[in-house]
Amino acid sequence: MSFKSPDTILEVDHVWKKYCRNLRRAMWYGLRDVAKQVFPQRPANAPPQSLLRPGEFFAVRDASFSMKAGECVGLVGANGAGKSTLLKMVNGLLRPDAGQIRIRGRIGALIELGTGFNPQLSGRENVYINGAVLGLKKHEIDAAYERIVDFSELSEVMESPLKTYSSGMRMRLGFSVAAHLRPQLLILDEVLAVGDVAFRMKCFQHFNDLTEQGTSIVLVTHAVGMLPRVATRIVVCTKGQIEFDGDVQAGLTVYEKALVEQASKQSSQHGESPWKKAFVENAEVLNASGSAGEEFQTGDELRLRVSVNCETAVPGARLIVALRSPVTETIASISTSYHSFQFDLRPGESQFVLVLRDLPLLLGAYFFDVSLYGPELIDFCHRRTGVGGFRIVGPPIDVNGNGICGLLRIEHRWEQGS
């Protein structure tokens, strides 16, 4: 079987991988799997689902995608979505239980920066060790040494023992060595939280240069805000499956929606106030015309209808609504008391509507936490988190920041200073 296209560099073809979380079972299965490798039999042509043993589940399920030379693909997903397992299979660390992975050319992987570092040795000695661990030959490290040191901005401390470096300096050194690999396919797993903003910008520029030279990059990160700067495509993993493969902006909203769904599972918390049986029953997102909706444009009007229920009256109650993003946590907190909106809760159900006009939010997924209090903030009654999930689906943002970019649209103008 050959590659589907001549410029394809990676092909993941209906790959499955099972996993066991129970330690004792996993050890026993491990021993049996080793025995199967030492005394091998040709794999049966059985459906992958029949491979599962008691206590196992599929961490990756029927995953397929491919990459061409020079592409930079962001692989994102919530914790436990299977992206790291998929990456380990692409890197040859784990063997697929079903399916096939084909790679053309040399692979480089930055999965943990500074692997092989010895704190007793100098920065210089560690550059050579780390380079060798990553597959560079001595003459390649010799040739790249000055560039590595320049890139890390650590030239003054290269002769000092690594144990005198801060963790940020170690990360920068590890990154700088690894960034000078010249593979056809580069795998980056959660390594971009390195250094300050200027250093990160330098890393992005470096990756852009690499892709322009034909290197393909798979980038796994939870810091998805920077993906539009480097990724040309996005693959979203959800519960071991590939849910989306395509445009970066559209993929990010799919990813954030999955995060919102995950967050809304942690939903309810009761307080110790005298009004224990007063609680937030539900919160629902409505559009300007009052009908339920999940998709909005920046600038639209959004209404949050909050239903509250109580058994005994709560005088001087107050509501606090937190607007949240799964990426950046709380964006804004809005309280009824800010506008002196006073109300007494009577037994039974009551409804309140929070109206947000001219939404300043940009592309992404968002949700609310709604808290109910008595007359004072110490009178916490109940909080329902992860409710009223919605998405902003347009208009497109400008990733280079030449206009609106990030989380919020801020009305602004420029003036010539004197």
Q: Which residues bind another protein (CB under 8 A)?
A: 19, 23, 26-27, 30-31, 33-34, 36-38, 40-43, 88-107, 109, 111-112, 115-116, 118, 120-121, 125, 128-129, 132-135, 137-138, 184
Q: Is the Cβ of residue 32 or residue 346 nearer to another protein in the bound state?
A: 32
* Closest among 391, 366, 76, 3 to 231, alpha carbons compared: 76
Q: Is the Cβ of residue 89 or residue 356 nearer to another protein in the bound state?
A: 89
Q: State the DSSP string of 341-398.
A: --EEEPSEEEEEEEEE-S--B-SEEEEEEEEEE-SSTT-EEEEEEEEEEEEEEESPP-
Longest Cα–Cα distance of the chain, Å, equals 82
Q: How far is the CB of 34 from another protein (least distance, A)?
A: 4
Q: How far is the CB of 337 from another protein (least distance, A)?
A: 48
Q: Is the Cβ of residue 73 or residue 113 nearer to another protein in the bound state?
A: 113
For the four alpha carbons of 101, 106, 110 and 113, in that order, the dihedral sign comes to positive
Task: Collect all residues with Cβ–Cβ distance below 8 Å to 278 and sequence separation of at least 6.
Answer: 308, 309, 310, 311, 312, 314, 317, 345, 372, 374, 381, 382
Q: How far is the CB of 25 from another protein (least distance, A)?
A: 10
Backbone Cα Rg of the chain: 26
Please give the torsion angle defined by the CA atoms of residues 82, 248, 367 and 322, in that order, rounded to the nearest 10 degrees: 110
Q: How far is the CB of 33 from another protein (least distance, A)?
A: 4
Q: Is the Cβ of residue 42 or residue 265 nearer to another protein in the bound state?
A: 42
The β-bridge relationship of strands 216-220 and 268-270 is unpaired
Q: Is the Cβ of residue 106 or residue 270 nearer to another protein in the bound state?
A: 106
Q: Is the Cβ of residue 69 or residue 231 nearer to another protein in the bound state?
A: 69
Q: How far is the CB of 28 from another protein (least distance, A)?
A: 8
Q: How far is the CB of 19 from another protein (least distance, A)?
A: 7
CA distance 103 to 377: 59
Q: How far is the CB of 335 from another protein (least distance, A)?
A: 44
H/E stretch holding 90 reads helix 83-90
CA distance 41 to 3: 27
Q: Is the Cβ of residue 103 or residue 218 nearer to another protein in the bound state?
A: 103
Q: How far is the CB of 35 from another protein (least distance, A)?
A: 9
Q: How many C-beta atoms lie closer than 10 Å to residue 20's C-beta? A: 19
* Closest among 330, 335, 277, 327 to 306, alpha carbons compared: 335
Q: Is the Cβ of residue 90 or residue 210 nearer to another protein in the bound state?
A: 90
